[in-house]
Amino acid sequence: MTLPADIAIAPCPAAVLAEDLPAFGALLHACVHAGASIGFILPFAPAEAEAFWRDRVLPPLTAGHRVLLAARAAGRLVGTVQLGTDTMPNQPHRADVAKLMVHPDWRRRGIARALMVALEAEAQARRRTLLTLDTRTGDAAEPLYLSMGYRIAGPIPGYCLHPSEDRLEATTIMYKAMAAGTAATA
């Protein structure tokens, strides 16, 4: 699937995130309300969504320990993904993929795949050759990750609360080992 020409993906520096907190909060809020299991449960207020970006993403982004990629359509934020690079000294080759999200109105257009391709390029630029992530077991993103060469390390039962139901869910831990120059292509 080719990304539509009107959608651009680029790194989002801390200053831009700080200025655009309402848009990032609105994106997270919409994704959680559409059923995304990305760490939040309902009820989930817009102020909580904005606070996540300000309190949990902005500090490591400012410190240079996180890369935030933003997908925009005609200037409107439609998706994001994060690369966490704040690893222990014995893991300078590893990074964490976090919070891949595409606004519900913009799904099924290749944006999530394009964000992951851009993320892998950012990881390679930082000499990170092992990427890890977790995703809700059976989530719609799992086939995407598998199609991009991620492997399942295994599930962890009872890992988190379901976003809208009073029950625990499993998560699947996945990884991708990338040699230099082997990021996925769109």
Question: Which tens digits make up the pLDDT trace of 120-164?
Answer: 999 999 999 999 999 999 888 999 999 999 999 999 999 999 888
- Rounded CA gap, 97 and 4, in Å? 24
Q: Is pLDDT above 70 for 76?
A: yes
Per-residue pLDDT, 186: 45
pLDDT of residue 1: 56
Instruction: Answer yes or no: is pLDDT of 94 > 80.
Output: yes
pLDDT at 38: 93
Dihedral, CA atoms, 149, 186, 32, 94, nearest 10 degrees? 50
Predicted pLDDT at 183: 52
Q: What is the CATH number of domain 7-177?
A: 3.40.630.30
pLDDT, average across residues 41-59: 96
> Does the pLDDT at position 57 exceed 60?
yes
The confidence band for 4, taking pLDDT boundaries of 50, 70 and 90, is: confident
For residues 58 and 18, is the Cβ–Cβ distance under 8 A? yes
DSSP code string of 96-155? EEEEEEE-GGG-SSSHHHHHHHHHHHHHHHTT--EEEEEEETT-THHHHHHHTT-EEEEE
- Examine residue 43 and say whether the peptide bond preceding it is cis (omega within 30 degrees of 0): yes
Q: Which residue has the tokens 């299991």?
A: 37
